[in-house]
Homo-oligomer: A and B are copies of this chain.
Amino acid sequence: MANKIYPDAAAALAGLLHDGMMIMAGGFGLCGIPEKLIAAIRESGVKDLTVVSNNAGIDGAGLGVLLDTRQIRKMISSYVGENKLFADLYLKGELELEFNPQGTLAERIRAGGAGIPAFFTKTGVGTLVAEGKELREFDGETYVMERGLVADLALVHAWKGDREGNLVYRKTARNFNPVMATAGKVTVAEIEGLVEPGEIEPDQIHTPGIFVQRIVHYPSYEKRIEQRTVRKRGA
């Protein structure tokens, strides 16, 4: 079997990075983000990036670390409200921003990975999102055409993976990771647990290995919580 396992994140990204490239990064908020790979992107110094990610991290965490270093030229996201530096850079004109409705973003990525160059959706019709885009009626309802998205590189975070690249995600850390894994010309996965092929039940694999070209295994992650909400015991 061709070896997909790399010793660390820097090695897993070696030869894949160039200025001006488009990178997809999985995660929702700070949940399920490829944190080791993002750190390695920062270390690499690659710049003028277009980053496709639902959010932009928070100040000093997640994709926020690439905003600190001004490596990102443009974000394609659905919500960036948790990041003050983002607001600052955007208002100063140092950062481009393309908002996509979250479902349209997910579908564009899924379409890109599945060889669908464009599709129609109700979402955003009659709003700023549809401006300049083709509108079309089907069965009496108006839809807007949206384009599939393919990235030069997709970075995903998974819970478990095997040497073949089969991946399993955990709870809501799944989010954008499986669709992004399909939509990178190259996909690199960081995993929390490395197992041998056959250890994951084949009916329970979320991302088949065909979508994953490189894997890096780290046994521990920071996994910050954005909103720690709890209830009292015995309430």
Contacts and interface: CB of A to CB of B under 8 A. Distances in A.
Given A203-B169, A203-B170, A203-B171, A107 B116 contact: yes
B122 A120 contact: no
Interface residues of A, number: 26
Contacts of A85: none
A113 to B, nearest CB: 12
A101 interface: no
Q: How many copies does the complex hold?
A: 2
Contact of A114 (B107, B138, B169): B107
Nearest to A159: B203
A145 to B, nearest CB: 9
A107 B116 CA distance: 10
Nearest to A206: B203
Interface SS majority for chain A: mixed
Interface string A197-227: 0000011101000000000000000000000
A115 interface: yes
A103 to B, nearest CB: 9
A118 B115 contact: no
Given A169-B203, A171-B203, A203-B169, A120 B121 contact: no
Nearest to A114: B107
Nearest to A141: B117
B119 A119 contact: yes
A173 to B, nearest CB: 10
A99 to B, nearest CB: 20
Interface of A: 107, 111, 114-122, 136, 138-139, 141, 143, 147, 168-171, 174, 202-204, 206
12 contacts: A107-B114, A116-B119, A117-B141, A117-B143, A118-B120, A118-B138, A138-B147, A168-B203, A169-B203, A171-B203, A203-B204, A204-B204
